[in-house]
Structures are given as structure tokens and as C-alpha cells.
A = this chain, B = another copy of it.
């Protein structure tokens, strides 16, 4: 492989794939876990230099990393709930993704999903605190569910929300189990298994707490949907 392959930016500690947009149409993203704040800053800069016309995203940043990255990159936008940073202008939104969450504790995952959707070019409708133990809250938003091009449904504990939502609408659903819970929730495994076994057809699932992955899938679906 040529050392000067333009599809790769060599930062010394990492050889960054700066070609993904060409292959997949998606923006570049930095997974911040396990990287130092300085490494995150360096990668964000390299990606932004390569693609200044569109936002790059860094996820899974610890609180202190959010501070350092925000200070080092004054043009960046810091989302404290999503624990994420964007640098560069958000794209124009095509289509809409509704991000539906069960409880207050699921907020960080829902926020990561929502920000990812925006960075990947779709509009977001946030619908929070509609857990299944108080159905009136969910039944009150049926119109907003039906108006979306794709749904991201975020829940921890028993992970029942996607099944109930899936019975109310035929919009494509991506379910995100969260690690909210204790004991036999097994760090989110209980919610993950529940979602994989949903009796509502067409529910697809991503990894525990993976708001980012759900956001990428849902934004792709929304972007390519016929406008209503």
C-alpha cells in the first residue's frame, strides 16, 4: 500500500480512513472511547481539513475529554448529554427520524442517536419518557410516530417499548437497548434479548447503548425516502 494513498491520513498513532464518504456517502466519525483527548482533536482536525464542507462527529467522549476537545476546537459544538462533539456545518436535512425513548435514564443514548441522525443528514423529532408502564403517554403521540420516515426506539430494563411501538405503526424501526437497569438486566442484555425477540414484525436491533449505529441506519433510510 502506497504510503501516500490519498484515502488514508497517517497521523503516526493511527492511519485514518478518509475515504468513507466516497464509498458510503456517510460523514467521517471518530469513536472516542480508548482515545486520548489529544488524539480525538488530531483526528477531528485531519478529517475536517479533508472535508471542511460537512460536519465530522466524535462520540463516546468522557466529561474531561469534552472539555479539552471543546477548548481546543472553539468552532466545535459540544453536546454534553450525548457526550459528543461536531465540527463543521450540519448537512441540510432530508426526511425525518423520530427518536423515541422510554425513560429519563435513556437520555444519553437517545441524544447520541439524535445527533448522529442530524450529522448524517436527516431531521429529528425527539419523543421522550413514553415508557410502556404509562401507555397514555405513548398513545398520545401516535401521529408523530406515523409521520416519521424511520423510528429509533430507545429503552433499557425489559426493553418492551419497540414491541409496543411496532404494533402501532408500519414505519421502519431500529431498536436500541440501553444498559439502564441492574441485577438480571445484565448490563443491557435483557433489553437486547427482548428486542431481538420482538413479536412486532420488522424491528431491527443494534448493540447496547449504540445510539450512533441506530442513527446511521435511520438517517440513511430517511434520506432516501420519498418526501411526504
On chain B, the residues within 8 Å of A15 by CB distance are 128-129, 137
Cβ–Cβ contact A184 & B190, under 8 A: no
**Complex contact B207–A213 (CB within 8 A):** no
Complex: chain B residue closest to A166, CB-CB: B133
* Chain B residues near A34 (CB-CB < 8 A): 104-105, 180
Residue from the set A33, A34, A187 with the largest chain B CB neighbour count within 10 Å: A34
A112 interface hit (Cβ, 8 Å): no
Q: Does A50 contact B (CB under 8 A)?
A: no
Decide if A47 is an interface residue (CB 8 Å cutoff): no
User: What is the number of residues of chain A that contact chain B, defined by CB distance less than 8 Å?
Assistant: 98
A62-70, A71-79, A216-224: which lies at the interface: A216-224
Copies in the complex: 8
CB closest residue in chain B, given A127: B1
Collect the chain B residues with CB atoms within 8 Å of residue A35's CB. 104-105
Contact A168 B1 (CB under 8 A): no
B134 touches A17 (CB 8 A): yes
**A91 within 8 Å of B (CB atoms):** no
- Which residues of B have CB within 8 Å of A173? 217
Q: Which residues of B contact A201 (CB under 8 A)?
A: 24, 26, 29, 133, 212-213, 216
Contact A140 B1 (CB under 8 A): yes
* Contact between A133 and B200, CB atoms less than 8 A apart: yes
Q: Which one of B13, B182, B204 contacts A209 once the chains associate, using CB atoms below 8 Å? A: B182
B157–A197 touching, CB < 8 Å:
yes
- A163 contacts across to B, CB distance below 8 A: 132-133, 158, 160
B128, B189, B205, B220: the one within 8 Å of A172 (CB): B220
A220 adjacent to B202 (CB under 8 Å): yes
Enumerate chain B residues within 8 angstroms of A213, measured Cβ to Cβ: 198, 201-204
Which 10 A-B pairs have CB atoms at the shortest separation, nearest pair first?
A183-B208, A1-B140, A24-B170, A160-B160, A204-B204, A202-B216, A133-B167, A190-B193, A25-B170, A158-B194
A-B contacts besides A7-B137, A158-B163, 14 pairs, CB < 8 Å: A15-B128, A19-B136, A135-B139, A150-B221, A157-B199, A158-B195, A159-B197, A164-B164, A183-B192, A196-B205, A201-B213, A203-B213, A204-B206, A205-B205
